[in-house]
Amino acid sequence: MSRIVVAVVIAGLLVPATEAARIPRIPTRQTPAHAQRWSRTDRSAAEFMVTLVRQKLTDQNVAAWQALHPAHQLVAPLDSFAACQSSIPSMGELVVVRAMRVESGPVWIAGESASVPSKAVTVRVAVRVDPWPDPVVVVQTMHAVSISGDWRWILSASQYEAFSSGSCP
């Protein structure tokens, strides 16, 4: 299995990836300098998304589903969501998940008629995969929306369509 295939599978656990790359070393306990300048709301959205990515990559499917947008919970019931997530093979040991950027802007939610305000959170995920000595890194942007003061994540349009049709994305 090639390094790119592994990165694509890891990205599939999250949402369609925007970038995959290989790097030699990854610090595991550093906060990017720009994160220190984030507003409280941006920091909260970033922490939410980092937690969500960890949950999805470590098979904490119930917790991940509970944070899913309520309209998307209707098309991806917990049993279906958990079964689909559990069918994805483990790709290796999670090294680090780090929020790199947070931007405010509208997002269209699949199945809804209008866009809503969101926080677009770009995360960097590194996973150690045998037999490669260096981690596989995926960088991608996911949206968090606030519902009654709580962050929720949304399915991509293709994930929404797959769950709507009764299949796994």
- Write 108-117 long-range contacts (CB < 8 A, 24+): 109/69, 109/71, 109/72, 109/145, 109/154, 110/72, 110/154, 110/155, 110/156, 110/157, 110/159, 110/160, 110/161, 111/71, 111/72, 111/75, 111/160, 111/164, 112/71, 116/145, 117/145, 117/146
pLDDT at 34: 59
Give CATH superfamily name and number for 3-23+33-164: NTF2-like; domain 1 (3.10.450.100)
Tens of pLDDT along the chain (169 residues) come to: 444 444 444 555 554 333 333 333 334 444 555 566 889 999 999 999 999 999 998 889 999 999 999 999 999 999 999 999 999 887 788 899 999 999 999 999 999 999 999 999 999 999 998 888 899 999 999 999 999 999 999 999 999 999 999 999 9
Predicted pLDDT at 130: 84
Question: CB–CB of 138/20 below 8 Å?
Answer: yes
Q: Domains of the chain: which residue ranges?
A: 3-23+33-164
Beta bridge partners of 126: 96, 137
pTM of the model: 0.79
